[in-house]
A and B are shown apart, each in its own frame.
Chain A
C-alpha cells in the first residue's frame, strides 16, 4: 500500500480527482525505468483525462551516481514550471547520464533551464530532504527495486509492459 497517499507534496500530471492514479517510484539512471518511460507515456496518452500520474524519487545513488543530481534538478525545475519537461528530457536522453555531470547539464540546458543555477541548488537541504522523504516513503510502501508502480495506492506486481498495465489500470475504471 502506498504510504503516504498522494498528497500536496507530490508532482501530479493530470487532473485531480482522476478516475485512476498511477504512481511510479523511479531512479533517473536506472535502465529499467528508462524502458518503462515510453510505456508510461503511452498509458498517459491512452487514458487521457482518466489517468493522473505521480512520480516519486527512488534514487539508488550508490549504484547510479547521477540519479540523485538528476532527481534534485527536477525538484529545482518545479519552481521554474518545468518539472515534467525536465523529467521527460532526462528519461529521453538517459544515455547522456553516463557522461556524468556534464551529460546531465546538457539535458538541463536542452529544456531552456540555466544549468549553473540548477546545479547550485543540488546542496539545498530542503530538496535533499524531499528526495530522501520520497525514498523513505518508497521503502515503507514496499518498493524493492525500480521502477515500482502503484495503481490507486495499491502495489502493481505485474510486468511493466503496456498491455499488462493497461489491463490493470482499466480494471480500476
Chain B
C-alpha cells in the first residue's frame, strides 16, 4: 500500500472507448480512487453503489470519485448504465492492472484489482490509504473523516 504523505503516481486511463483521464489534470478538487475487483458484483452491500449514493456528499467536500477496475470500457459503460453510476469508472485493462499495480492494489492470483481506497489531495499527495479484504466493503467513514479534516467547511 502506498503511504499517506507521499506523492500519488500519475496515470492516464480510458473512461470511455475514445476518452481518457489523467489524474494530474484534476487540480481543482481532491480525488478518491476506488479500486475494486470487478463490475457486476451484487448490489445491496456493494461498495460502488454505496459511494455512488454518497457522491453528492463527497462533492460537498470538493472530492471527485474515480472507480478503477480491470474491466474494459464497454463493460464499465454497461455496468454504469444498469446501476445508474454517476462517477467515472476507469478501465485498467490494457496493459492489464498496470495502474492497480502502481498503487499496490493488484491480486496477481485473481488477476483483479484489490479493494483499495486512496484519497489524493489537490496537490497530488496521498492523504489516506486503505486496503480491505475483497469480501468486505470498507465503507466511507474513514475516507470521509480524513476529507473533512483537509477540507473544513
How many residues on A have C-beta within 8 angstroms of the other chain's C-beta atoms?
18
Q: Mark B39-63, 1 if CB is under 8 A from A, else 0.
A: 0000111110110111001000000
Also in contact, A145 and B137, with CB within 8 A (given A60-B53, A62-B49): yes
The segment from A44-52, A88-96, A115-123, A133-141 that touches chain B is A133-141
- Number of B residues whose C-beta is below 8 Å from A? 22
B53 touching A145 by the CB < 8 A rule?
Answer: no
B102 interface residue (CB < 8 Å to A): no
Residues of B within 8 A of A141 (CB): 141
Contact pick for A142, options B53, B84, B139, CB 8 Å: B139
Please measure, in the bound complex, the distance between the C-alpha atom of A152 and the C-alpha atom of B47, giving whole angstroms.
26
Q: How far is the CA of A135 from the CA of B140 in the complex (A)?
A: 11
Contact A139 B140 (CB under 8 A): yes
Interface of B is mostly: loop
A30 / chain B contacts, CB cutoff of 8 Å = 44
User: Among the listed A59, A61, A139, A145, which residue makes an inter-chain contact with B44, where contact means beta carbons less than 8 Å apart?
Assistant: A145
Specify which of A59, A61, A144 is in contact with B137 (CB 8 Å cutoff): A144
The answer to whether A74 has its CB under 8 Å from any CB of chain B is no
Q: Does A143 contact B (CB under 8 A)?
A: yes
CA distance A31 to B45 in the complex (A): 11
Q: How far is the CB of A42 from chain B (nearest CB, A)?
A: 22
Query: Is A173 at the interface (CB under 8 A from chain B)?
Result: no
CB neighbours (8 Å) of B57 from chain A are 135-136, 139
List 4 additional contacts besides A142-B139, A145-B44, A145-B50; criterion CB under 8 Å: A32-B44, A60-B50, A139-B139, A142-B141
- Closest 5 interchain pairs by CB? A145-B45, A144-B139, A144-B137, A62-B84, A142-B141
